[in-house]
C-alpha cells in the first residue's frame, strides 16, 4: 500500500495497529517464503508460517477473541484483509482465506455452542479445514441457487443426503463440509422441530460414509488450498444435530455467508492489486525508454493514473459495504454484489496494466504478475459471474424505483416529456 499509513484516521487506533503489524509480518516473513509463480504453498511451510502469525498476534483477524482470533468487527476487516492479500499466500497463512473464512463467519453467527466447539474452534485455530458444498453440475445450482438438486430427507432421528457437487473449493483437504441440500416442509419431524420447504445446511464430516471425492477440476488459480473438485453424497446419514441453523432456512443463511464472503474476496484481491501496482511503479521509475523513465511518458502515466482510480474506487466501495453489513445484512449483501462486480473487474485491469507495462518480464515467471492475473481472472466467475450479478443489480434497481414511485417518494418531473418537445 502506497504511503506509510494509508488508513490512518479512517479506522480506530487498535485497527490501525493490527493493520500495521499485519503489513510488517507479510513483508518480513510471508513474502520471502512465497512459492514460485504457479506453484502451491507447501503444507508444512504454511503451518510454520501460521505459528509465526500467532506469535505476531495477526492470526485469524476476523475470528472472535473467544475462539482464538483478533476479534475484528466486520466494518474493520478491509484494511487488514488488504494487507494480508498483498501476498497471494498471506490470507492462507493468517487463516482468513476462502472457503474457511466464510465458514467461520457463518458458524459464529448461527452455529450452536456444540457446533462451535466441534467445528469452529479447531477451524479458527487452523487445525482443520473445510469446504462449502453448494455448486452443482448443470442443471443444478450454480449462479442460480434456487436450482438446487441435492436433497436431504428425514431418516429416523437424522437426515439422508444425496447429491453431486462440483467446484467445491478446498474439498480435497477439508475435514468437513457445509452442505446445501433441498428439504421438504416438515410440520413435525422426529425431533419435534417443524420446518418450511426450501433448503437446509448440514455440517458433514468428510469421512462420513457415503461422502466420496470425485474428479478434481483443474483451474488457472492455484492459491486456494485443496483445489476445486467434485464431491458425491450417496445416502449420507447425519444426525439431527448436523443441521446448521434451522432447517428450511438455507437460502437465507447462504446470504449471511455469501455477502461478507464476496466482500472479503474483494479485500484480498485488492491487496494483490496494490502489490502489482507497486511492481508497476518500481518498473516505471527505473526503466528508461526514449531518453526518459517510463513514469515520465504520457502513455505510462495514463496506465498508472487509471490504476490509481481503480484501486481507490474499489477501496471506497469495499469500506462502504463493510460498514453497511455491520448494521443491515440484507442491504449489505445487495451492495456486496455491486462491490464484487466492480472490484473483480477493476483488480483485473490493474494487474493487466502492470503486466503490460513490464513487457516481456511481465508475462514470464521471473515476475509473479501473470500468476496474479490468473488468480484474479477467475474471480469474475467465482461467487456468481459478473453477468449474473449485473442482472440482479438491474432488477433490484428497477424494483426499488417502482416501489418509490408507488409510495409517492420519487420525483418524476425530470422524466416528463412535453408534446411540444417531440
Q: Is 349 exposed, middle or buried (0-12, 13-18, 19+ CB in 10 A)?
A: middle
Q: 205 and 236 in contact (C-beta within 8 Å)?
A: no
Choose among 167, 75, 66, 170: nearest CA to 116: 66
Q: Could you count the other beta carbons within 10 Å of the beta carbon of residue 343? A: 29
Residue ranges, CATH 2.40.110.10, the chain: 130-247
pLDDT of residue 418: 57
Residue ranges, CATH 1.20.140.10, the chain: 252-406
State mean pLDDT over 217-244: 94
Q: At what angle do helices 298-327 and 77-85 cross, to 10 degrees?
A: 140
**110-134 pLDDT, tens per residue?**
999 999 999 999 999 999 999 999 9
Instruction: Assign 43 to helix, strand or coil.
Output: helix
User: Quick one: pLDDT band at residue 292, thresholds 50, 70, 90?
Assistant: confident
Look over the chain and give the mean of its residue pLDDT values, rounded to a whole number: 92
Residue ranges, CATH 1.10.540.10, the chain: 13-97
Mean pLDDT highest for which of 8-22, 71-85, 252-266, 404-418?
Answer: 71-85
CA atoms within 13 A on the CB side of 40: 12
Q: Is the peptide bond before 139 cis (omega within 30 degrees of 0)?
A: yes
Q: How far apart are CA 422 and CA 413, in angstroms?
A: 16
State mean pLDDT over 215-233: 92
Choose among 102, 83, 108: nearest CA to 29: 83
**168-210 pLDDT, tens per residue?**
999 999 999 999 999 998 754 444 456 788 999 999 999 999 9
pLDDT of residue 225: 86
- Strand 158-169 to strand 151-155: parallel, antiparallel, or no bridges (unpaired)? antiparallel
Which residues contact residue 209 at a Cβ distance below 8 angstroms, ignoring those fewer than 6 apart? Answer: 236, 237
User: Quick one: pLDDT band at residue 224, thresholds 50, 70, 90?
Assistant: confident
CA atoms within 13 A on the CB side of 47: 6
Pull the grid cell for residue 402.
417502482
The CATH classification number of 130-247 equals 2.40.110.10
User: Over the range 280-301, which residues count as b (16 or more CB within 10 Å of their CB) and which as e?
Assistant: bbebbeeeeeeeeebbebeebe
Mean pLDDT highest for which of 43-47, 232-236, 406-410?
Answer: 232-236
pLDDT of residue 419: 57
Pull the grid cell for residue 82.
488488504
The pair phi, psi for residue 197, each rounded to 5°, is -70, 150
pLDDT of residue 192: 45
Is 416 a residue whose pLDDT tops 80? no
Q: How far apart are CA 304 and CA 358, in angstroms?
A: 12
pLDDT of residue 6: 57
Question: What percent of the chain has a predicted confidence (pLDDT) above 70?
Answer: 93
Is 9 a residue whose pLDDT tops 70? no
For the chain, how far is it from start to end, CA to CA, in angstroms? Answer: 53
**Alpha helices (runs of H) in 57-131, residue ranges in sequence order:** 77-85, 90-93, 100-110, 113-115, 121-124
CA atoms within 13 A on the CB side of 70: 28
pLDDT of residue 254: 86
Pull the grid cell for residue 68.
482464538
Class of domain 13-97: mainly alpha
Q: Is the peptide bond before 318 cis (omega within 30 degrees of 0)?
A: no
State mean pLDDT over 257-283: 96
**306-353 pLDDT, tens per residue?**
999 999 999 999 999 999 999 998 899 999 999 999 999 999 999 999
For domain 252-406, the CATH architecture is: Up-down Bundle (1.20)
State mean pLDDT over 369-373: 96
Q: How far apart are CA 60 and CA 95, in angstroms?
A: 5
CA 206 to chain centre: 22
Pull the grid cell for residue 35.
512459492
User: Quick one: pLDDT band at residue 153, thresholds 50, 70, 90?
Assistant: very high
Amino acid at each position: 500500500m502506497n504511503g506509510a499509513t494509508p488508513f490512518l484516521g479512517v479506522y480506530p487506533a487498535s485497527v490501525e495497529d493490527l493493520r500495521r503489524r499485519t503489513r510488517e509480518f507479510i513483508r518480513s516473513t510471508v513474502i520471502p517464503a512465497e512459492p514460485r509463480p504457479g506453484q502451491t504453498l507447501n503444507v508444512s511451510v504454511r503451518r510454520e508460517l501460521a505459528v509465526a502469525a500467532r506469535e505476531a498476534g495477526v492470526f485469524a483477524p476476523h475470528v472472535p477473541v473467544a475462539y482464538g482470533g483478533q476479534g475484528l468487527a466486520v466494518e474493520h476487516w478491509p484494511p487488514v484483509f488488504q494487507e494480508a492479500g498483498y501476498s497471494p499466500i498471506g490470507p492462507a497463512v493468517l487463516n482468513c482465506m476462502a472457503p474457511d473464512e466464510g465458514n467461520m463467519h457463518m458458524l459464529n453467527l448461527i452455529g450452536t455452542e456444540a457446533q462451535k466447539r466441534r467445528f469452529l474452534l479447531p477451524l479458527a485455530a487452523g487445525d482443520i479445514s473445510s469446504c462449502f458444498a453448494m455448486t452443482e453440475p448443470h442443471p443444478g445450482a450454480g449462479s442460480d441457487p434456487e436450482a438446487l438438486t441435492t436433497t436431504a430427507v428425514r431418516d429416523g432421528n437424522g437426515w439422508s443426503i444425496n447429491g453431486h457437487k462440483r467446484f467445491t473449493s478446498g474439498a480435497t483437504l477439508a475435514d468437513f463440509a457445509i452442505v446445501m441440500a433441498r428439504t421438504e416442509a416438515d410440520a413435525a419431524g422426529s425431533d419435534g422441530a417443524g420446518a418450511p420447504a426450501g433448503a437446509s445446511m448440514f455440517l458433514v464430516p468428510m469421512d462420513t460414509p457415503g461422502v466420496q471425492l470425485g474428479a478434481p477440476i483443474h483451474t488457472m488459480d492455484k492459491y486456494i488450498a485443496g483445489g476445486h473438485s467434485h464431491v458425491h453424497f450417496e445416502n449420507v446419514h447425519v444426525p439431527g444435530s448436523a443441521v446448521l441453523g434451522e432447517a428450511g432456512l438455507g437460502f437465507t443463511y447462504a446470504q449471511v455467508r455469501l455477502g461478507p464472503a464476496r466482500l472479503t474476496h474483494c479485500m484480498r484481491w485488492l491487496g494483490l492489486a496494490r502489490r502489482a501496482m507497486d511492481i508497476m511503479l518500481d518498473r516505471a521509475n527505473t526503466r528508461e525508454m526514449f531518453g526518459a523513465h517510463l513514469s515520465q511518458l504520457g502513455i505510462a502515466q495514463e496506465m498508472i493514473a487509471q490504476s490509481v482510480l481503480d484501486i481507490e474506487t474499489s477501496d471506497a466501495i469495499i469500506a462502504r459495504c463493510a460498514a453497511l453489513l455491520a448494521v443491515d445484512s440484507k442491504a449489505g449483501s445487495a451492495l456486496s454484489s455491486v462491490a464484487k462486480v466492480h472490484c473483480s473487474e477493476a483488480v483485473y485491469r490493474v494487474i493487466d496494466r502492470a503486466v503490460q507495462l513490464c513487457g516481456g518480464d511481465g508475462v514470464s515467471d521471473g515476475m509473479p504478475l501473470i500468476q496474479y492475473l490468473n488468480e484474479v481472472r477467475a474471480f469474475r466467475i467465482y461467487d456468481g459471474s459478473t453477468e449474473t450479478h449485473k442482472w440482479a443489480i438491474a432488477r433490484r434497481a428497477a424494483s426499488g424505483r417502482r416501489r418509490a414511485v408507488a409510495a409517492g417518494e420519487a420525483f418524476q418531473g425530470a422524466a416528463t416529456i412535453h408534446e411540444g418537445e417531440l
